[in-house]
Amino acid sequence: MTISFLLLAAITIAGTAAAMSLRNLVHCVLALTLGLVGLAALYLQLGAQFVGFTQILVYVGAVAILAVFAIMMTRSAEPTEPHGSSSFQLSGALIAGIVFAVLAWAVSSGTKALQVQTLQPEASVNQIGVALMHGFVLPLEVIGLLLTAALIGAGVLAMDETRGAR
Amino acid sequence: MPEIIDQIFVLSKHWLLGYVPAGLQPVFSALLSVVPVLIAFPLLFAITTVLERKGLGRMQNRYGPNRTGPFGILQPMADGIKSLTKEDIIPRTADHLVHLLAPLLLVTASFLVYAVLPIGRNMVIANLNAGVLFFFAVGSMVELAVFMAGWSSRSKYSLLGAMRAIAQMISYEMPLVLASVVVIMAAGSLSTVAIVNMQASYTGIWPHWYVFTPWGLTGFVIFLIAATAESNRCPFDLPEGESEIIAGYYIEYSGFKFALFFLGEYLGMFATSAMAITLFLGGWAAPFSFLTWIPSYVWFFTKLLTLILVFIWIRGTLPRLRMDQLMNFAWKFMLPLSLINIFGAGVWHYMPAGLLRWLVVTLLVVVSCISLSRGLRRGKWFHVRTYRFAA
Amino acid sequence: MIGEGILKGLAETARNFFGSYVNKDRLTTVQFPEERLPQIEATRDFPFLVYDGTDWQQGLRCVSCQICEKECPPKCIYIEKSKDKKPDATGKPQSYPTTFNIDISVCMSCQICVEVCPFDAIKMDVAFELSTDDRFGGLLLNREQLAKSNEYYNKIHPTEAAAVDAAFAEERAKAEAKARQAAEAKAAAAAQTLTPGAGETTRVQ
Amino acid sequence: MSPMSGYLLLSALLFSIGLAGALTRRNAILVLIGIELMLNAANLNFIAFWRYGPNPEALTGVMFAIFSISVAAAEAAVGLSIILAVYRHSKTTNLDKMNSMKG
Amino acid sequence: MNWIVQNLWLVPALPILAAGISALAKRKSRVLAASLAIGSMAISFLLSLWAFAHVLWLRNHGEASLQIFDFRWFQFGNQWLSLGWVLNPLTAVMLVMVTFVGLLIFIYSVGYMAHDENFTRFFCFLALFAGAMLGVVIANSLLLLFMCWEIVGLTSYLLIGFWYSNPKAAAAGKKAFIVTRIGDIPFFLGMVWLYGQSGTLLFYNGGAGCLEPSAINYLVAQTTTIGICAATGIALLIFCGAVGKSGQFPLHVWLPDAMEGPTPVSALIHAATMVAAGVFLVARVYPLMSAHAGIASVLTTSTALQAVTWVGSITALFGALIAVAQYDIKRILAYSTVSQLGYMMMGLGVGGVSVGMFHLITHAFFKSLLFLGAGSVIHGCSGEQDIRRMGGLGRLMPVTFATYAVGMLALCGFPLLFSGFWSKDEILHAAHTWNISQAPFYMGAFAALLTAFYMSRQVFYVFGGKSRLAEETADLSHSLASPDTTNHHGSSAPHESPAVMTIPLMILSVFALLLGFLGTPAWPWFQSFLEDTQAPLDFSAFSTGGMLPVMLSSSVIVLLGLTIGWWFYGRKPIESVDAPDNVGRLSPSIFSALGNALYFDAIYGATFVKLNTQLSKISDWLDRWVWNGAVQTVTQIVFGFAYLDNFLDTHVVNSGFDGGCQGVSRSGQILSLLQAGRIQRYLKIVAGALIVFTILLLWKAKI
């Protein structure tokens, strides 16, 4: 439980908590990016460089911007109305709390028996490339297909009907 | 002797580290490798501002700043002092926190990028084996900063400018990355140091820079164009086109924050051009075998300066692109061309070395370039815009 | 080919860039404070009051008829008429402005005041370096700062000044002839009271 | 408390925060972000298990994380475009108003 | 088979056809109705003469005088029920008598009913009655006879109640109909019993008929539980029908009241034909009646015949007694008819068919003569029927007086000259020679005496003394103006009837005189004709078999009666309407008792009628409470079940079903809550599931 882990964990939790609770949506997204960067740092700390940088590239670079664009275009940047009925909030939070408790219990009871391998495994990009090309070729192709489909789909969905018609 | 000069900085760093107690060793070594970069590039920024203004002037048959100091040498000092002394106005309805954070994030992102750029022989702050990926990852945080700037100042011009900037940066990030993919394929590694080492060797006097390969050249050209778009410069400086929306996303900034934005912008430019150098122009490698005696960092910076001059040159000549032309150019010319370029690199990789390989790949690239460009013109994407009302 | 337009443009700028160092006349900029371009005669900046002779208080042509004040579009002229009268160039007792302010920060140098002034008392000056460090007070010129001699007028607008002087001389000659005829009958004293003022040599012609 | 359980706890916490956000917020985009967060928590789990798991050289954890990140990105894109389309249609992003699919 | 035998059905059919046509005709087509009736009757009379001649021809040629014609009516099961008609001397005689008397009465009634507006209806009923009577005569089947018997009963009701607007007439009609019906029921039972035993209702069927010896022997052999043989039982039951129809002792009450009908009706129905039907019936089924166990000799008479005799003699005496104390002219004749019918029954019982029938024929003629005479008297006195208010008509209506006197003398049986003497004498002779008891003979003789007495009283009242018509006294009870008077055209003075009425009187009086000579002991042609034997002319018969003393005694009786009558009434006829009757003065109580018909009506009223009302009350009560109650309860039960079923249906089935549907819809609503379109809710559910599964997993794993 190194200090850096605690620090990064604190940052991530603070970021995500703020993301979920702030009133102004744009602030939420920004807090989210902070959380995600914290997460990426955790990945780096765990030694998965490639994943960390992809995380930053994909989430901070693309998804955050996308979310912000969405917020801009749906005019929800204005301060949102109050949180609405408290019972609604309460129930949501309660359930989340229970889920956390259960998972925590599972984790704590689960990991006791597991013998932990301390050596830092090496995950160089080269190895990842090899693994991608050999072991995970099919998922790679499928992901390619999926991403193209998503690209086109998102484009069409978000496209303004009139433009296509003109 | 030339090696000592070459490694002067590295040696001095180790020398200095000697004086540091063991406990702080890692921190100091980090500091010592980071601080010079933090100093060098802002200086370069200062120099570039002058070069740019005088160069533009010269191109436009005028002198450029020559009042501050001899031949306007002290102009950056003046700008710096001006920006420091200028009152820092924050719009009343602005979102103070985000308003403040935007420039900071921009500058940090821009500085972070230099971690992986090999300035000289084994003079790289962090030799990550996914260096290029790091470069693009951190590079993409700039857009977020731009958005924060644009949105937080709560003015229509700034928001519009930010949106345009982000749109442009995102759409040009694709060709940028794909162009670099070509080099990664050739070099076989994401680490920038490895890539430069791959280009360091010479055949005869000619260096093995990737730019001297057909796919390399196209990659380099695409990379440069995308770099200019990425840093919102010249033909792609629509976001802060003064004539249209005044100053784009940093309109509501004044004083030091404004300076920071400028710094961020230029640092972005230097970073992308530095990456271009590492990827295509052999990083710190000397252009000819007989010139290897000159220290590696010197080559790096000279190449950097030449690229900067090219940028300035382009800024002086090309007119501003319209938004739709800009976007079309990115998605309908650059992206396909880079994909084909990757294909070309693949073909290059599998074909035996020789003239045939050259012919095929160049043919492939040239034909695709022509057909895409004709596609652009036939689609009248670049025709003179006729205004239906204002005719 | 897509690129030839760009290359031609780059070549042009490169030519300019290197040409500027080689061929001086490419650079047409005038280093302003050090070098100045000769003044063009028809330049006009802000109005000034013309006075004959040496003492501006006596020689001031303005009779405060306030036409220019009324006609001035941005309303930047402010005149207060004097109670007493003083003789003008032709010796006729005329009133004179006690205060005559022009706010040059408001004046748009349209020269309407010059055109409507029946007495050619107000003309357009060529001085443009009037920047002051305080924003309001400095730019409000009073009567004293506005008054300038006829010679200066001839210096800055020679042709126009000459035409105006000729018209004055002719008018004065006609008036003297008339006065002479009337005066010979009257005491020379009446004639005496006419000529103490400016007495510029040019007007005498 | 082995380091691994620390990461797992953290991912559980992240997951529940994401879930809380998804459950409590009314705005569609926030829910989407909440879901993104839950996905990230899962990724963290993968990497933690890869790091401390039995045979890391198989790289399954890393691979899975990469694929899940790409899928999440695609999902975010499509999700947001759907929200956009819904907004353009019904001028609201409030989830309670989007109940036309109710039974 | 002769044409007449085959077409004998025409005789009854023609009058019925005439009745049908006139029934459909309009009220004012009076001539059509009269001519139709009279025409049809005339044709029937001619056909009857033809049939009579045919029978004579058959007798002369020695052929069987019995000719039958049967036809099948309908089949039930595998048996055929057949009807038919028979032509034998009995039928022939009756046919001629009925048609001839009917014709005369039709002609007479044309004049009598001239002023009545229901003229056509009257003649329609008369024709119908004649047709039915002829049907009874020719019937060869007891069933056909019974059917015609009922139609005769119907027409008697219609004719008695002809002036139905008069309540007494309507009541009389109903009374006649009901009393005859009481008689007909045993008749019907007997018929059914006969059919049950003999298997056929045809009288003569070539040996298989019920009156043929084979059937008779069979019936005699059958003994019933109460000891008498079937034949006797059936005979007695059939005799009851005859008692009802002919007005014998217990069922005679309707005959005097039947006088409410118009006089020709009384003449035709209550003198000549209908009442004779009962006697004819007994004559027709005489073989059945006289059948008895033991040796087949004629000597012993069957119980049935004994019963007939006793009933006949009682009725004769009884009728004569009551007739003495009557004041209404037609009522006296009615009671005399009752007694004469008693004579006929006694004749049949003791002397056989020929004796009874001879008296029936002679009685028909002089009784119809007396009735028509009474009719012309009433017509003359413009509807007055009470003899006390008549008197002195002998001079005013000479023809009526003469014919009436002839009829009176014939009825009383004036010696030698009049037919009544010969026929009554035959009966008295037979009664005298009856081997069982002499009581009938003495009752008969006394009845003859009384007959002579009340007839002479009547004649002296009506024709003797001076006219009492003018005295209009209000207190007389039955001074009600009968419909006859109402329709007279105002002339109150008595006057002779027109020719159309007097001619039939004269013809009838001639027959009343001459008919007796057919059956004198010297030349008993009539009896031989009926018995189908040869009758030589020999005057010595008078002396054989004690015939002479009987004749002498009866003539003495008659003369005695006449003198008594003259003594009381001829010498000094009463002067005023309200003067008491001469005999009445002697013994007022007996006289008033006899005047009220020995209170039989009252007795019947008190007993049977009351019993009947009680029974009807009881049956009403039963009907109302018991049957109705039962039905009500059943309906209530059914309603109850229906209500229960409805209740079950609505509450259990429907509501159950609806309840089920509501349950489904409510649960559907609840389920739909699950999909309220709120995405967060779905997420919560997913989270919940997650929690549950992880807990399960951990629980199972039991780390």
Residue C190's pLDDT band (cuts 50, 70, 90) = low
Q: Taking a contact as any Cβ pair under 8 Å apart, which residues of chain D between 43 and 102 contact chain A?
A: 43-44, 47-48, 50-54, 56-59, 61-63, 65-67, 69-78, 80-85, 87-88, 93, 96
CB-based contact E680 D24, cutoff 8 Å: yes
Which residues of chain B have a CB within 8 Å of the CB of A78? Answer: none
CA distance B78 to B266: 18
The Cα of C30 is separated from the nearest Cα of chain B by a number of Å equal to: 9
Whether residue A102 lies inside any domain: the answer is no
* Residue A84 in this model has a pLDDT that exceeds 70: no
Flag whether pLDDT at E105 surpasses 50.
Answer: yes
Q: Can you give the pLDDT at residue D35?
A: 92
pLDDT for residue B246: 65
pLDDT of residue C78: 92
Q: What is the pLDDT of residue D42?
A: 93
What is the crossing angle of helices E230-246 and E329-351, to 10°?
160
**Structure tokens, D5:** 């359980």
Which long-range contacts (C-beta less than 8 Å, at least 24 apart) are formed by E292-296? Answer: E292/E220, E292/E229, E292/E231, E292/E232, E293/E220, E293/E229
- Neighbouring-strand partners of residue E229: E223
Question: How far does chain A reach from its first CA to its final CA, in angstroms?
Answer: 61
Give E571's pLDDT tier (boundaries 50, 70, 90). Answer: confident
Q: What confidence score (pLDDT) does residue B178 get?
A: 93
- Cβ neighbours, 10 Å, residue A162: 7
Q: What is the mean pLDDT of residues C14-20?
A: 88
- Tell me the β-bridge partners of C95: C85
- The single residue listed with the structure tokens 């004569």 is E320
Q: Region B265-280: what's the mean pLDDT?
A: 92
Say yes or no to pLDDT of C165 above 70.
yes
Better pLDDT: B368 or E62: B368
pLDDT for residue A80 is more than 70:
no
Q: Is the pLDDT of residue C51 over 70?
A: yes
* Percent of all residues in chain C with a pLDDT value above 90, rounded to a whole number: 17
Cβ–Cβ under 8 Å, residues B193 and B116: no
E436-456 pLDDT, tens digit per residue, is 888 888 898 999 999 998 888
Q: Looking at residue B330, what DSSP letter applies? A: I
Contact B163 A49 (CB under 8 A): no
Question: Residues B334, B225: contact at Cβ < 8 Å?
Answer: yes
- Secondary structure (DSSP) of E4-32: HHHGGGHHHHHHHHHHHHHHHS-TT-HHH
Best mutation target among E694, E696, E699, E702 (most A Cβ atoms within 10 Å) is: E694
Instruction: State CA D75 to chain mean position distance.
Output: 10
Is the model more confident about E266 or about E486?
A: E266
Average pLDDT estimate for E527-552: 75
At E462 the pLDDT is 85
CATH classification for the domain delimited by D3-90, as one of 3.40.50.300, 1.10.287.3510, 3.40.250.10, 3.40.190.10: 1.10.287.3510
Q: Is residue A31 part of a domain?
A: yes
Q: What percent of chain A has pLDDT over 90?
A: 32
Q: What is the mean pLDDT of the segment spanning C107-115? A: 91
- Looking at the DSSP bridge assignments, the partners of residue C148 are C50
Per-residue pLDDT, E300: 58
Quick one: how far is CA E404 from the chain centroid? 27
Evaluate whether residue A90 is within a structural domain: no
- Of B355-359, E228-232, E297-301, E582-586, the poorest mean pLDDT is in E297-301
Of A24, A27, A64, the CB nearest to B144: A64
How much is the pLDDT for A82? Answer: 60
CATH number for the domain harbouring residue A20:
1.20.120.1200
Residues from chain A that touch E680, judged by Cβ atoms under 8 A, are: 88, 92
Three-state secondary-structure class, residue B103 = helix
CB pairs under 8 A between A and D: 241
The structure tokens listed for E81 are 């029920």
Cβ-Cβ contacts under 8 Å, A54 against chain B: 133, 137
pLDDT tens readout for residues C52-62: 888 888 888 88
- Cβ neighbours of E621 (radius 10 Å): 10
Interchain CB distance below 8 Å, C27 and B376: no
pLDDT band at A79 (very low <50, low <70, confident <90, very high): low
Distance CA E424, CA E447 (A): 11
Min Cα separation A58/chain B (Å): 8
For the cut 90, the answer to whether the pLDDT of residue E352 exceeds it is no
Q: What are phi and psi of B18, to 5 degrees?
A: -55, -35
**Cβ-nearest to C27 among B63, B314, B377:** B63
Residue A114 domain flag: no
Question: Does A113 fall in a domain?
Answer: no
Query: How far is it, in rounded angstroms, from Cα E343 to Cα E341?
Result: 5
Q: What is the pLDDT of residue C174?
A: 87
Alpha-carbon torsion angle E328, E329, E335, E337, nearest 10: -160
CB-CB neighbors (< 8 A) of A147 in chain B: none
Is the distance from CB of E541 to CB of E547 less than 8 angstroms?
yes
Distance of residue A140 Cα from the nearest chain B Cα, in angstroms: 17
Sorted by where each starts, the structural domains of chain C and their CATH numbers stand as 47-153 (3.30.70.3270)
Q: In which band, very low, low, confident or very high, does the pLDDT at A85 lie, cut at 50, 70 and 90? A: low
Q: Has residue E217 got a pLDDT over 70?
A: yes
> What is the value of pTM for the model shown?
0.56
The confidence band for C204, taking pLDDT boundaries of 50, 70 and 90, is very low
Q: How far is C154 from chain B (nearest CA, A)?
A: 36
Is the CB of residue E677 less than 8 Å away from at least one CB of chain D? yes
Residue B302 predicted with pLDDT over 50: yes
Rg (CA), chain B: 22
The residue-averaged pLDDT of A83-103 equals 82
Domain hosting residue A12, numbered range: 3-77+119-165
In this predicted structure, the answer to whether residue E418 has a pLDDT above a threshold of 90 is: no
pLDDT-derived band at A34 (thresholds 50, 70, 90) equals very high
Question: Is B61's CB within 8 Å of C14's CB?
Answer: no
* B187 and A CB contact within 8 Å: no
Residue A93 lies in a domain: no
Q: What does pLDDT average to over chain C?
A: 84
Name the percent of chain C lying above pLDDT 70: 90
Distance CA B295, CA B303 (A): 13
Residue (of C133, C141, C147) closest to C106 by Cα position: C141
pLDDT digits (tens, 9 = 90+) for B218-265: 999 999 999 999 888 878 877 776 666 666 788 888 888 888 988 998
Residue window 40-69, chain A: list those with CB within 8 Å of chain D: 42-43, 46-48, 50-51, 54-55, 58-59, 62-63, 66-67, 69
pLDDT over 90 at B373, yes or no? no
Locate the chain B residue with the closest alpha carbon to A55: B137
Neighbours of E445 (CB within 10 A): 20
Query: Are the Cβ atoms of A57 and B137 closer than 8 angstroms?
Result: yes
pLDDT of residue E703: 53
Which residues lie closer than 8 Å to B251 by C-beta, 6 or more apart? B153, B155, B157, B158, B161, B245
Long-range contacts of E192-199 (CB under 8 A, 24+ apart): E193/E230, E193/E233, E193/E234, E193/E237, E194/E142, E194/E219, E194/E234, E194/E288, E195/E142, E197/E222, E197/E230, E197/E234
DSSP per-residue string spanning chain A: --HHHHHHHHHHHHHHHHHHH-SSHHHHHHHHHHHHHHHHHHHHHHT-HHHHHHHIIIIIIIIHHHHHHHHHHTTTTSPPPP---HHHHHHHHHHHHHHHHHHHHHHHHHHHHSPP--S-----HHHHHHHHHHTTHHHHHHHHHHHHHHHHHHHHHHS-HHHHH-
Could you write out the three-class secondary structure of E611-639?
A: HHHHHHHHHHHHHHHHHHHHHHHHHHHHH
| A81: confidence class by pLDDT, cuts 50, 70, 90 | low
- Total domains in chain A come to 1
Residue A115, pLDDT > 90, answer: no
Residue contact E680–D23, C-beta within 8 A? yes
Q: What is the DSSP string of E550-590?
A: HHHHHHHHHHHHHHHHIIIIISS--SSTTSPPHHHHHSHHH
Tell me what pLDDT residue A32 has. Answer: 93
The mean pLDDT of C170-186, rounded to a whole number, is 83
What residues of chain E lie within 8 A of the CB of D18, using their CB? Answer: none
Mean pLDDT of C128-148: 85
Q: Which residue has the higher pLDDT, E521 or D16?
A: D16
A92/E680 CB distance under 8 A: yes
Mean pLDDT of chain E: 84
- Find out whether E190 and E241 touch, Cβ atoms under 8 Å: yes
Distance, CA of C191 to CA of C182 (rounded, Å): 10
Domain chopping of chain D, boundaries: 3-90
Tell me what the pLDDT averaged over chain B comes to.
87
C-alpha distances (whole Å) from B138 to each of A54, A61, B271, C153, E218 are 10, 8, 11, 68, 144
pLDDT of residue B19: 87
A89 domain-assigned: no
* E333, pLDDT greater than 80: yes
| Band (E603; pLDDT cuts 50, 70, 90) | confident
Q: What is the pLDDT of residues E22-58, one digit of tens each?
A: 888 887 888 888 999 999 999 999 999 999 988 888 8
By C-alpha distance, the chain B residue nearest C34 is: B67
- Among E691, E696, E697, the strongest candidate for a mutation testing the A interface, having the largest count of A CBs within 10 A, is E691
Residue E570 identity: G
Residue A59 · residue D36 · CB < 8 Å: yes
pLDDT digits (tens, 9 = 90+) for E475-519: 343 444 444 444 444 445 777 888 888 888 888 889 888 888 887
Interatomic CA distance for residues E385 and B1, integer angstroms? 191
